[in-house]
Chains A and B, each alone.
Chain A
Amino acid sequence: MATFDPAELPELLKLYYRRLFPYAQYYRWLNYGGVIKNYFQHREFSFTLKDDIYIRYQSFSNQRDLEKEMQKMNPYKIDIGAVYSHRPNQHNTVKLGAFQAQEKELVFDIDMTDYDDVRRCCSSADICSKCWTLMTMAIRIIDRALKEDFGFKHRLWVYSGRRGVHCWVCDESVRKLSSAVRSGIVEYLSLVKGGQDVKKKVHLSEKIHPFVSKSINIIKKYFEEYALVDQDILENKETWDKILALVPETIHEKLQQNFQKHHNSLQRWECLKKAISSQDIKNDKCGHWLELEIMLQYCFPRLDINVSKGINHLLKSPFSVHPKTGRISVPIDLQKVDQFDPFTVPTISSVCHELDAVSTNDEEKEGNEAESDIKHRTRDYKKTSLAPYIKVFEQFLENLDKSRKGELLKKSDLQKDF
């Protein structure tokens, strides 16, 4: 794989936007079957150009228009915003107060930086295979809740390109949700509370809500390997002191002694569990809850409410390129979430490189350069590592289409009854 050099971005992006970006599928998504007039035309996009020039309120008439503009401006970053009451690129002509954000997908942004207090391997923008499990668990927990508890059907999970994942919930009714309900959903999904100054961030009540217990069952599948082996959270005094800060002081001394006697985190965790459930702790609630609170603090997803609650919030677009890593924001296959490896996600340089190799072969074989750009592109990405990810995206689009057809049938059936 070719290494990515940010200095090459302008050239790489030129090629990417001309030959690889999946405009047809992208338009198919945001047009939502053309059922609502002007839905695509009223969508805000924002571009970040070379030298950090940021332009908002971009909007396009159709797929061709989008393509032309993207190829012309060669954006480093593309963000997707809300569907407004008017064309965003004409918002200055609208009477004061009349230009309003009306609909948008419900989005989530899970960022590895928010876990810095509980991961030992990396910090801030870095990620590795040891801490990536946090994202795997987050996806499983959040997706289960969105699907089973809230009944949301069309959820697109996307790798952000560097240190996290995004989720786009695209159901028709969800796009209309108010800011208050979006906030409520994030609250429902939140368990870890408190900033740097708060030691114990999870407090469970007497009754454990089914959402919490189901999430814990997911965490339990990963906990041993992730926390006790990879993160080694009870490796030495420095690390186990952090855990001790979460349990009542009455058992600290005993635990310190016991920890010394054991050799690894697995054994010490067993130790801890025994100590918690013993009769030593009288005042604080103990036993089962305490053990769960620790697991949750170390593993439960952390969401940024500001990303989700605002209808006009702009979020990085799928298939956008990350200017620092070169990685493409690709959809994640939920069927294979455990196998997803951010380090094997194609970078813009690698796909462009692959494309060059392919094109050379093709041209040698067929000697035909008169093909239309579109046909070219359909074959182009299929021969790069981008192919499987676009397939995931297409499956997502198929499901959206099916749902839409189903809804239309239902509506026409109801009318036929009269």
Chain B
Amino acid sequence: MQFSGGMRKKLRLGGDQRKASYPHSLQFYLEPPSENISLIEFESLAIDRVKLLKAVENLGVSYVKGIEPYQSKLENEIRRLKFSFRESLEDEYEPRRKDHISHFILRLAYCQSEDLRRWFIQQEMDLLRFRFSILPKDKIRNFLKDSHLQFEAISDDEKSLREQEILASSPSLCGSKLDLDSESVYKIPFADALDLFRGRKVYLEGGFAYVPLRDIVAIVLNEFRAKLSKALALSTKSFPPCMRQLHKALRENHHLRHGGRMQYGLFLKGIGLTLEQALQFWKQEFIRGKMDPDKFDKGYSYNIRHSFGKEGKRTDYTPFSCLKIILTNPPGQGDYHGCPFRHSDPELLKQKLQSYKISPTGINQILDLVKGTHYQVACQKYFEMIHNVDDCGFSLNHPNQFFFESQRILNGSKDIRKESIQPETPQPKPSVQKTKDASSALAYLNSSLEMDMEGLEDYFSE
């Protein structure tokens, strides 16, 4: 079964076309958003979604999922925060758009560490499960079809041949012939139905699982989780350490303090201060040839320049280069910005590198470079260790460059892997391609989210 991202939705504003861009009340977030939003909207979308996910978490802890009162309470929360959840008569475009964009913003924020990722995935899955549970049957079929999930429904003849077996296998079917008559049955490769077949909850024949529609949810959720975690893991490797620091800020802020008061301040600061770096990353990751980079600069960056005044006088709003980050605005107590190689205490830096699983030799080399004030070279060394290459192949002077080069390596090795065996473990050392061609580089980035990369286990064991 494949998620194919082949469906490219162009965002056109206006009437029926708006409906066409988000035809369903729920989505798999296969395609990143490609429009301009202002910084203020960026922040408010992110906050609202964090609130929503916190609510999902709390409700999941206090009530049994899937039944009342969980169902209506969660529905209220979603309504309150104006996210999409149900097909209704009103124009659902805004809530669905909000849903779409906020999800991708939070991917940025929550990819940074294992526990953040786990939390994010868990809540997103619970949210999706809820939305799926209230979807009417005919809408399910359409949604699956539109999402390009390649489930093959079997013919009635094939169904009746296996009727007894399917009824005897599926706990959710009550066992009467009538139950099965109206229900579609899908034939999927057994390995895609792991959670079903391991507990003998599905009929297996010739390597295929014969899954009734009502059991498809489990599989869909699994696929969602796998894809999401791969996407998150990909982002994390491509973040320079100055961005990875974000996680600390988030960790301290995404837990509800006693009394329920959430501190979004630091969260915002964490996203906001490195916002320009984040925005550049977003621009590169999300544009995918849909939008003219100039347009993005004019539209988006324009907003940033003018909203950024609250951080003090900044006349130059080009995203910070390494030199700028190293030399200006050093972080104080409780700050999370700056360059870790320049601004972190060497002991703390060592610990951090250990937590990123850098080898002791590598750590020593990095610390030596730091001692010699070669911060950017130290960062390059970090790059080489993370990506398992001997020579990073570039001279680092900008966090976005780090990301860009990282994506090239991770995407470039796709071709090498095509004919060889598929590992469930980290990549063998790939060759670093040194193309300077912008359009081909963009092409690499275009496929970043669809990459079939390291396995699930790998990143949960990081």
* A contact residues around B194 at 8 Å (CB): 180-181, 184
**Alpha-carbon distance between A152 and B204 when the two chains are bound, in angstroms:** 12
* Closest residue of A by beta carbon distance from B200: A209
* A contact residues around B69 at 8 Å (CB): none
Q: Which A160-180 residues have a C-beta within 8 angstroms of B? A: 176-180
Q: Are A213 and B168 in contact (CB under 8 A)?
A: yes
Q: Are B168 and A187 in contact (CB under 8 A)?
A: no
**A195 contacts chain B at the CB level, 8 A cutoff:** no
**Alpha-carbon distance between A36 and B419 when the two chains are bound, in angstroms:** 8
* B contact residues around A98 at 8 Å (CB): 388, 426, 428-429
With contacts A184-B198, A209-B200 taken as known, whether A102 is within 8 angstroms of B421 at the C-beta atoms is yes
**A222 contacts chain B at the CB level, 8 A cutoff:** no
**B84 contacts chain A at the CB level, 8 A cutoff:** no
Q: Are A178 and B200 in contact (CB under 8 A)?
A: no
Q: Which A81-105 residues have a C-beta within 8 angstroms of B? A: 83, 85, 95-98, 100-103
Total cross-chain contacts (CB, 8 A): 83
* A contact residues around B429 at 8 Å (CB): 95, 98
Q: Are A207 and B171 in contact (CB under 8 A)?
A: yes
* A contact residues around B203 at 8 Å (CB): 209-210
* B contact residues around A177 at 8 Å (CB): 191
Interface membership of chain A positions 55-83, coded 1 if the CB is closer than 8 angstroms to chain B and 0 otherwise = 00000000000000000000000000001
* Closest residue of A by beta carbon distance from B209: A149
With contacts A187-B199, A210-B168, A210-B203 taken as known, whether A150 is within 8 angstroms of B190 at the C-beta atoms is yes
Q: Are A188 and B198 in contact (CB under 8 A)?
A: yes
* Closest residue of A by beta carbon distance from B162: A210
A406 to chain B, nearest CB (A): 16
**Alpha-carbon distance between A97 and B429 when the two chains are bound, in angstroms:** 11
Chain B CB count within 10 A is highest, among A36, A101, A103, A181, for A181
Q: Are A148 and B168 in contact (CB under 8 A)?
A: no
Q: Are A85 and B200 in contact (CB under 8 A)?
A: no
* A contact residues around B455 at 8 Å (CB): 178
**B368 contacts chain A at the CB level, 8 A cutoff:** no
* A contact residues around B421 at 8 Å (CB): 36, 83, 102-103, 176
* B contact residues around A100 at 8 Å (CB): 423, 425-426
* B contact residues around A176 at 8 Å (CB): 421-422
Can you report 19 residue pairs joining A to B where beta carbons are below 8 Å apart? A36-B420, A37-B420, A85-B428, A97-B357, A97-B426, A102-B423, A102-B424, A151-B208, A178-B455, A183-B198, A188-B198, A205-B171, A207-B167, A207-B168, A207-B171, A208-B168, A209-B200, A210-B169, A311-B424
* B contact residues around A187 at 8 Å (CB): 198-199
* B contact residues around A181 at 8 Å (CB): 191, 194
**B95 contacts chain A at the CB level, 8 A cutoff:** no
* A contact residues around B423 at 8 Å (CB): 85, 100, 102
**Alpha-carbon distance between A193 and B111 when the two chains are bound, in angstroms:** 39
**Alpha-carbon distance between A211 and B208 when the two chains are bound, in angstroms:** 14
B189 to chain A, nearest CB (A): 9
**A212 contacts chain B at the CB level, 8 A cutoff:** yes
With contacts A96-B359, A180-B457 taken as known, whether A207 is within 8 angstroms of B175 at the C-beta atoms is yes
* Closest residue of B by beta carbon distance from A211: B200
* Closest residue of A by beta carbon distance from B389: A95
Query: Hey, which bits of chain A sit against chain B, CB under 8 A?
Result: 36-37, 83, 85, 95-98, 100-103, 148-152, 176-181, 183-185, 187-188, 205, 207-213, 311
* Closest residue of A by beta carbon distance from B194: A184
Interface membership of chain B positions 178-221, coded 1 if the CB is closer than 8 angstroms to chain A and 0 otherwise = 00000000000011001001111001111110000000000000
Q: Which B143-173 residues have a C-beta within 8 angstroms of A? A: 165, 167-169, 171
Q: Are A95 and B388 in contact (CB under 8 A)?
A: yes
B391 to chain A, nearest CB (A): 14
A281 to chain B, nearest CB (A): 23
Classify the interface of chain B: helix, strand, loop or mixed. Answer: loop
**Alpha-carbon distance between A209 and B203 when the two chains are bound, in angstroms:** 8
Interface membership of chain B positions 432-462, coded 1 if the CB is closer than 8 angstroms to chain A and 0 otherwise = 0000000000000000000000010100000
The 7 A-B residue pairs with the shortest CB-CB distance, nearest first, are A151-B207, A184-B198, A100-B425, A149-B204, A187-B198, A151-B206, A209-B200
Q: Are B205 and A149 in contact (CB under 8 A)?
A: yes
Query: Hey, which bits of chain B sit against chain A, CB under 8 A?
Result: 165, 167-169, 171, 175, 190-191, 194, 197-200, 203-208, 357, 359, 388, 420-426, 428-429, 455, 457
* B contact residues around A180 at 8 Å (CB): 194, 457
Chain A CB count within 10 A is highest, among B359, B421, B457, for B421
**Alpha-carbon distance between A207 and B167 when the two chains are bound, in angstroms:** 9
Q: Are A148 and B426 in contact (CB under 8 A)?
A: no
* A contact residues around B199 at 8 Å (CB): 187
Q: Are A148 and B388 in contact (CB under 8 A)?
A: no
**Alpha-carbon distance between A179 and B425 when the two chains are bound, in angstroms:** 11
* B contact residues around A179 at 8 Å (CB): 424, 457
**Alpha-carbon distance between A360 and B365 when the two chains are bound, in angstroms:** 69
Beyond A151-B208, A176-B422, list 20 extra A-B contacts (CB 8 Å): A96-B359, A97-B388, A97-B426, A98-B428, A98-B429, A100-B423, A101-B425, A102-B423, A148-B205, A149-B205, A150-B207, A178-B457, A184-B194, A184-B197, A184-B198, A188-B197, A188-B198, A188-B200, A207-B167, A207-B169
* B contact residues around A151 at 8 Å (CB): 190, 205-208
A1 to chain B, nearest CB (A): 43
B193 to chain A, nearest CB (A): 9
* B contact residues around A209 at 8 Å (CB): 168-169, 200, 203
B53 to chain A, nearest CB (A): 26
**Alpha-carbon distance between A149 and B208 when the two chains are bound, in angstroms:** 8
* B contact residues around A212 at 8 Å (CB): 200
With contacts A95-B429, A98-B429, A150-B207 taken as known, whether A210 is within 8 angstroms of B422 at the C-beta atoms is no
* A contact residues around B197 at 8 Å (CB): 184, 188
* A contact residues around B171 at 8 Å (CB): 205, 207
**Alpha-carbon distance between A183 and B175 when the two chains are bound, in angstroms:** 29
**Alpha-carbon distance between A181 and B193 when the two chains are bound, in angstroms:** 9
**Alpha-carbon distance between A184 and B357 when the two chains are bound, in angstroms:** 30
Chain A CB count within 10 A is highest, among B169, B206, B420, B423, for B423
With contacts A180-B457, A212-B200 taken as known, whether A148 is within 8 angstroms of B420 at the C-beta atoms is no
**Alpha-carbon distance between A208 and B167 when the two chains are bound, in angstroms:** 10
A252 to chain B, nearest CB (A): 31
* Closest residue of B by beta carbon distance from A205: B171
**Alpha-carbon distance between A177 and B455 when the two chains are bound, in angstroms:** 12
B199 to chain A, nearest CB (A): 7
* B contact residues around A83 at 8 Å (CB): 421
User: Residue B165 contacts which of A103, A152, A183, A210 (CB distance < 8 angstroms)?
Assistant: A210
* A contact residues around B169 at 8 Å (CB): 207, 209-210
**Alpha-carbon distance between A219 and B309 when the two chains are bound, in angstroms:** 79
* A contact residues around B205 at 8 Å (CB): 148-149, 151
With contacts A95-B388, A184-B198 taken as known, whether A102 is within 8 angstroms of B359 at the C-beta atoms is no
**Alpha-carbon distance between A187 and B193 when the two chains are bound, in angstroms:** 13
**Alpha-carbon distance between A152 and B207 when the two chains are bound, in angstroms:** 7
**Alpha-carbon distance between A8 and B422 when the two chains are bound, in angstroms:** 45
A185 to chain B, nearest CB (A): 8
B430 to chain A, nearest CB (A): 11
Chain B CB count within 10 A is highest, among A177, A207, A213, for A207
* B contact residues around A96 at 8 Å (CB): 359
**Alpha-carbon distance between A95 and B203 when the two chains are bound, in angstroms:** 44
A207 to chain B, nearest CB (A): 5
* A contact residues around B457 at 8 Å (CB): 178-180
**Alpha-carbon distance between A361 and B199 when the two chains are bound, in angstroms:** 60
* B contact residues around A213 at 8 Å (CB): 168
* A contact residues around B359 at 8 Å (CB): 96
* B contact residues around A97 at 8 Å (CB): 357, 388, 426
User: Residue A150 contacts which of B198, B204, B357, B428 (CB distance < 8 angstroms)?
Assistant: B204
* A contact residues around B426 at 8 Å (CB): 97-98, 100
B160 to chain A, nearest CB (A): 16
